[in-house]
């Protein structure tokens, strides 16, 4: 039930190719007019022949608005000018041609560039070139087909406005009655009311089905217990460089120097990655008189201080140390800690200062931890206060 309003052939003839049921009842109901639908008015752009709805002198609205119909059809240049149509045709063909070129490029690149058998930089060079050419070829091949097709449809295919009338959603009364009857028949045939064993066992199967969704949630636990509150640092445990694992002589740490450290033998732990994540620590040497905090001074060795590298905000590694300002910066959210003030937070979202690791020197002059961190390291968690 469609109706072509305009014939889009070049030259713009105005004949209407209406289907016979132009003015049937459903169409008229849709358009909201009494059989004077605007499309019948032809290509002169008239919006119906009734008077326009305007307020009259008494300020009253008319009882009915006239259907304004569809706006006038605008002809494209390719509809009017055959030369323009030929130009459009060539443009479309150019896009399709580009697509073919893309396909050829893809195939040539696939066979011409052979990364296999190469090594080192040559291999990476070949892979890089291959990736780029394959991507370019494939992209060109697909994109240009799309562009050509759309350009074709938009400039050359008919673009007449078309009215398509919706069918009613409701089924006929007979169909509805049939459906109800079929349902009732089926229920009676299954005999749910009669065969109690089946009904009850089915209920027994369906009811616990919800457990399948709930039980795997157990994997969210068990609660971490004390594992977050303590790290691998113990009294007398040596600090070793990360990742090279050498012990550090206190005398070797230059002023303004930074060392990323782990406890000695951390890789022998049961869960080395977990233990490394918790114990990771930053050693910094300041001028001893730059330290103002008495606790910080007490836990330092000759200006060498050690702080947890895990940010107290959300646990990123706080590693950006500015030697001149003594600011320690977290790369994730720019929390900034002042190392000369016991790593107090001077900027950013971190909630607490970084925990300090108490340091000492063993008999051979190597740096050791004299105790574990005195508070849980890293971001807040519910049981944090229970240590």
Partner 1 sequence: MTRLSKPLAVLRALSRRRRHRLAPLLLLLLALGTTGGAYAAFAPTGDAAAAAGASTQTLAQGRLLYLKNCATCHGLNAEGSGTDGPSLIGVGAAAVDFQVGTGRMPAKELGAQIQAKRQFFTDGQISAMAAYVASLAPGPAIPSEEDVNYSDANIAEGGEIYRTNCAMCHNFAGSGGALTRGKYAPSLKKTTPTHMYEAMLTGPQSMPVFGDGTMTPEEKRDIIGFLKTTSAEPSPGGLALGKIGPVSEGAVGWLVGLGALIGCAVWLGAKAR
List of residues contacting partner 1 (CB under 8 A): 74, 76-78, 121, 124-125, 127-128, 131-132, 135, 150, 154-155, 159, 241-244, 248-249, 251-260, 284, 317, 319-325, 327, 329, 331, 334, 336, 347
Pairing of strands 327-329, 320-322: antiparallel
Phi-psi region of 42 (alpha: psi -120 to 50; beta: other; left: phi over 0): left
Least separation in angstroms between residue 93's CB and partner 1 is 17
Closer CB to partner 1, 1 or 320, in the complex = 320
Closer CB to partner 1, 303 or 319, in the complex = 319
Angle among Cα 376, 379, 380 to the nearest 5 degrees reads 80
* In contact, 261 and 284? CB cutoff 8 Å: no
Least separation in angstroms between residue 283's CB and partner 1 is 9
- The length of the chain is 387
Closer CB to partner 1, 229 or 306, in the complex = 306
Question: Per the structure block, which two tokens stand in for 58?
Answer: 């008494």
Closer CB to partner 1, 126 or 360, in the complex = 126
Least separation in angstroms between residue 251's CB and partner 1 is 8
Quote the CA–CA distance of 245 and 261 in Å, as a whole number. 8
Closer CB to partner 1, 229 or 248, in the complex = 248
**Residues whose CB falls within 8 Å of the CB of residue 368, separated by 6 or more in sequence, listed in order:** 235, 236, 237, 238, 239, 359, 360, 361, 362
| Phi, psi angle pair for 328, to nearest 5° | -115, 125
Least separation in angstroms between residue 159's CB and partner 1 is 7
Closer CB to partner 1, 225 or 243, in the complex = 243
Least separation in angstroms between residue 186's CB and partner 1 is 48
Quote the CA–CA distance of 193 and 366 in Å, as a whole number. 84
Least separation in angstroms between residue 293's CB and partner 1 is 21
């Amino acid at each position: 039930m469609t109706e072509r309003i305009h014939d889009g052939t070049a030259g713009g003839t105005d004949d209407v190719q209406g289907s016979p049921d132009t003015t049937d009842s459903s169409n008229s109901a849709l358009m909201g007019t009494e059989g004077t639908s605007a499309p019948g008015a032809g290509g002169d752009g008239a919006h119906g022949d009734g008077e326009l709805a305007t307020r009259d002198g008494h300020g009253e609205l008319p009882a009915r608005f006239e259907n304004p119909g569809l706006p006038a059809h605008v002809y494209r240049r390719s509809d009017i000018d055959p030369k323009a149509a030929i130009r459009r045709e060539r443009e479309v063909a150019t896009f399709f041609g580009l697509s073919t070129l893309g396909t050829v490029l893809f195939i040539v690149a696939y066979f011409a560039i052979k990364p296999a058998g190469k090594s080192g930089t040559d291999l990476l060079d070949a892979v890089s070139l291959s990736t780029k050419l394959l991507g370019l070829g494939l992209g060109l091949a697909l994109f240009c087909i799309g562009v050509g097709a759309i350009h074709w449809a938009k400039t050359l295919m008919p673009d007449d406005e078309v009215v398509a009338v919706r069918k009613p959603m409701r089924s006929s009364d007979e169909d509805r009655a049939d459906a109800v009857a079929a349902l009732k028949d089926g229920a009676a045939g299954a005999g749910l009311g009669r065969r109690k064993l089946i009904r009850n066992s089915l209920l027994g199967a369906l009811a616990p089905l919800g457990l399948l969704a709930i039980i795997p949630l157990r994997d969210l636990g068990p609660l971490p217990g004390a594992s977050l509150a303590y790290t691998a640092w113990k009294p007398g445990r040596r600090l070793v460089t990360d990742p090279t694992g050498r012990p550090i002589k206190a005398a070797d740490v230059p002023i303004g120097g930074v060392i990323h450290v782990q406890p000695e033998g951390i890789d022998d732990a049961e869960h080395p990655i977990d233990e490394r994540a918790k114990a990771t620590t930053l050693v910094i040497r300041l001028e001893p008189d730059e330290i103002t905090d008495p606790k910080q001074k007490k836990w330092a060795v000759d200006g060498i201080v050690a702080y947890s590298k895990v940010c107290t905000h959300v646990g990123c590694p706080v590693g950006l140390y500015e030697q001149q300002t003594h600011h320690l910066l977290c790369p994730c959210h720019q929390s900034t800690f002042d190392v000369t003030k016991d790593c107090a937070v001077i900027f950013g979202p971190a909630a607490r200062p970084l925990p300090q690791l108490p340091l000492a020197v063993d008999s051979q002059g190597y740096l050791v931890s004299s105790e574990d961190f005195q508070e849980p390291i890293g971001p807040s968690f519910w049981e944090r206060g229970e240590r």
